[in-house]
Amino acid sequence: MYRSVRGMRDTILLIQDSSRSVFGVFNSSYYTVEDNYYGNGLSFVFKIEKKDKDVESRGQAPLQEIRGVEKYGWSGDNELFILCKSHSLAFGGGGDGGNAIRLDKNLCSGSTEKCATFSSPELSDVAEFKIYRVELWGPAPM
């Protein structure tokens, strides 16, 4: 999962799930398999406003209009920004909730919970989701 992002930082990970919710994370750190959380307060999570036609079109309608974006930056409550394990990738954690975004190693499924790191709510309409589309944008490694 991490081979294609080796040497990359300052990336935007964008996810569309099976409920057609669109959300993601700006990650300011490198992707490195670690035993502990790492990163910094420049990271943030976000969700993009969903329209009724997104559900009706089953995700096939192009985004032809500007949409609202809700951004959740670092709350200062903890420093649990990113956790890269061989079996999963997680952003945020702690508090009464859990990870803002957690993805399995195959990028097939994931979950979202209320998250103390970013003071964010669940970012999808469903807590446990199947990934419909996933994209990662960032500068080319040097």
Please give the average per-residue pLDDT across 108-127, as a whole number. 96
Given a cut of 80, is residue 51 above it in pLDDT? no
- Model confidence at 25: pLDDT above 60: yes
**For residue 55, how many C-alpha atoms fall within 13 Å in the half-sphere facing its CB?**
7
**CA dihedral (93, 99, 100, 103) positive or negative:** positive
More confident of the two residues 130 and 64: 130
Residue 101 has pLDDT above 70, yes or no: yes
pTM over 0.85: yes
What is the band of 62 on the pLDDT scale with cuts at 50, 70, 90?
low
Q: Which residues make Cβ contacts (< 8 Å) with residue 96, sequence separation at least 6? A: 114, 116
Q: Quick one: which H or E segment has residue 47?
A: strand 44-48
Percentage of residues of the chain with pLDDT beyond 90: 71
**Euclidean distance between CA atoms 41 and 108, whole angstroms:** 28
Q: How far is CA 28 from CA 59, 86, 97, in A?
A: 29, 20, 23
Mean pLDDT of 73-98: 93
